[in-house]
Amino acid sequence: MNRTARVERVTKESSIVVELDLDGTGKTEIATGVPFYDHMLTALGAHASFDLTVRAEGDIEIEAHHTVEDTAIVFGQALGKALGDKAGIRRFGDAYIPMDETLAHAAVDVSGRPYCVHTGEPEHLLHAVIPGSPVGDRAGAPYSTVLNRHVFESIALNARIALHVRVLYGRDQHHVTEAEFKAVARALRAAVELDPRVQGVPSTKGTL
């Protein structure tokens, strides 16, 4: 079974290519022009055991919002495409991830009914910005943590999954964001894993 996808999306604001293999080993090649987001997507691919390539160019000289959100949209589309008819998957997955003072939890249902709940982030993350660092001969764009919700919503809606992400406690914006991404990664890994005991689509109605 080949559970791979390549999705390309071009708009006036960004040009995104995502290549995804659900049965990979966590190899990643990420370049969005937003260094902290690259770090988060690298963690997502590694901890989900997905082989993930992301190439993104966007108007980061304005701000990172378009590039970050559009990349999440394309990743979600690639995830949905790679899942195909969803035959044989476990369907549900969840994970708790600690990072120093932070604890985050994510739960996934590959249901075909897109929904996202994102809750529990400290209020200061609505205004926190993680600085960028140089990327080649370009200045890397800073990452605003208010984008976390946009990322998870975009993935859920475009992959057509139910995704719940919550922060139980935490302070540092880097730790909170990274724990969330890693929790989502581990929950996805569990949900899309093939289960030899599952025959066909894991739903009593016969479709997802």
Tens digits of residue pLDDT in 75-120: 999 999 999 999 999 999 999 999 999 999 999 999 999 999 999 9
Strand partners of residue 10: 15
Asked if residue 201 belongs to a domain, the reply is no
Quote the pLDDT of residue 173.
97
* Mean pLDDT for the chain overall: 94
Assess whether pLDDT exceeds 80 at residue 50. yes
Residue 69 lies in a domain: yes
* Beta bridge mates, 94: 107
Would 206 be classed as within a structural domain? Answer: no
Full DSSP string of the chain: ---EEEEEEE-SSEEEEEEEETTS-S-EEEE-S-HHHHHHHHHHHHHHT-EEEEEEEE-TTT-SHHHHHHHHHHHHHHHHHHHTT-TTB--EEEEEEEETTEEEEEEEE--SS-EEEEE---GGGGT-EEPP--BTTBPPPPEETTHHHHHHHHHHHHHT-EEEEEEEE---HHHHHHHHHHHHHHHHHHHHSB-TT--S-SSTTS--
pLDDT at 33 over 90: yes
For residue 102, give both structure tokens.
Answer: 């932070």
How many Å separate Cα 119 from the centre of its chain? 16
Q: Which two tokens stand for residue 69?
A: 């959100």
* Tens of pLDDT, residues 81-92: 999 999 999 999
Least confident of 17-31, 110-124, 189-203: 189-203
Query: Measured between alpha carbons, how far is 54 from 78 in angstroms, rounded to an integer?
Result: 11
- CA distances (Å), 38 to each of 47, 68, 198, 200, in order? 14, 10, 35, 35
Q: Total structural domains in the chain?
A: 1
What is d(CA 89, CA 109) in angstroms, rounded to the nearest whole number?
A: 11
Entry field: residues in the chain? 208
CATH code of residue 148 = 3.30.230.40
**Domain range for residue 179?**
4-192
Residue 207 placed within a domain: no
What share of the chain has pLDDT > 70, as a percent? 94
